[in-house]
Amino acid sequence: MPDLASTTCAITGGAGLIGSFLADQLVDAGADVVVVDDFSKGTRANIAHLDGKVDVREVDLEVMGSARAALAGTDFVFHLASRAYGVGHGAGRHGEILRHNERITDNVLDAVVTLRPQHVLVTSSSCVYPDDGPDTVPELPLFSGEPEAANRGYGWAKRFLEQKAVLASEEAGVPVTIVRPFNIYGERYAWVGESSQAIPMLVKKVMDGNDPVIIWGSGEQRRTYLHAADCALIMRRLVELGYTDGPVNIGLEETVSVRELVETLCRLADRHPALTCDRSKPEGRFVKSSDPTRLFEAVPDFAPTVGLDDGLDRMIGWYRSTFS
């Protein structure tokens, strides 16, 4: 098992939601950390507390050859960078989203093949799964049916990322870990207006005093949520364990409906708006739950450190610091 202490670890998207928590953990583990980010979504505020402790390389990974320079001299690569937005962003943009992410994929994997680090983790997505699959999703094969319709371009980009990463691993002799996160949230989220993801969008509606609060879709769609700090923890542990035995879902089986989520937010914020569902808006697949069997086989000691109430309370703090 690799010991990350005294190694150099690169995180693409290292100033983003998950990447910044991963940077914290790797610094605490004694690694030299390289944060690679173009700050299009990641923010300097997310890593400001690490000033002097990490090497920040501001790079647009869509530019050909940029990843080779950004990842030079690193032993482990955690590839998290992508162009990802909320469910309302994809309509009419699926091809654009696919092309953006494909350029990032090709440049990063070109660097992997050229530089041959000790180990690479690549971040896929639960969007690779079809809408007509089981409610609780195991690590299904990639090319059966279409990926999630509401995020079709992103889902295809992540399917291609996984397949290309396997080929690059074989070509370069570099072990690869593939992860598929489910609905990750946290207080380091960068607001992107109407393209924002569900939890920050709902937090803003509640905290802005909207009455009624409009929920997209039926409100009965169910999701499993995991805080970004716990997602980062799983990523780090998988690499420390040298795990390469197929993709791993990062998510749990327990779900909550979007209506229940908003009701919890209202309780925590002491707000009392009416709740209205707009069924003309996309809601994605009805149930999005992860079968955690492989996750717990790979990381048997994992237990979430941030519960949903605590995480949502942190998101309320995020709203106050972002919009006050």
In the structure encoding, which two tokens stand for residue 43, read together? Answer: 């923010």
Domain chopping of the chain, boundaries: 8-188+224-253+289-305
Task: Collapse the DSSP code of 120 into the 3-class scheme (helix H, G, I; strand E, B; otherwise coil) and give the result.
Answer: strand
Residue 212 is predicted with a pLDDT of: 98
Looking at CATH, the fold of the domain delimited by 8-188+224-253+289-305 is given as Rossmann fold (3.40.50)
Residue 84 is predicted with a pLDDT of: 66
Q: What is the DSSP string of 219-284?
A: S--EE--EEHHHHHHHHHHHHHTT--SS-EEE--S--EEHHHHHHHHHHHHT----EEEETTS---
Contact 103, 65 (CB under 8 A): no
H helices of the chain, in order, are: 17-28, 44-47, 66-71, 94-115, 152-172, 198-207, 228-240, 258-269, 293-298, 308-323
Whether residue 87 is predicted with pLDDT greater than 60 in this model: the reply is: no
Whether residue 86 is predicted with pLDDT greater than 90 in this model: the reply is: no
Q: Is the pTM of this model over 0.75?
A: yes
Contact 119, 2 (CB under 8 A): yes
Whether residue 92 is predicted with pLDDT greater than 70 in this model: the reply is: no
Neighbouring C-beta atoms of residue 257, cutoff 10 Å:
16
Amino acid at 125: S
Residue 285 is predicted with a pLDDT of: 82
Amino acid at 206: V
Residue 284 is predicted with a pLDDT of: 78
Residue 83 is predicted with a pLDDT of: 73
Name the more confident of 282 and 168. Answer: 168
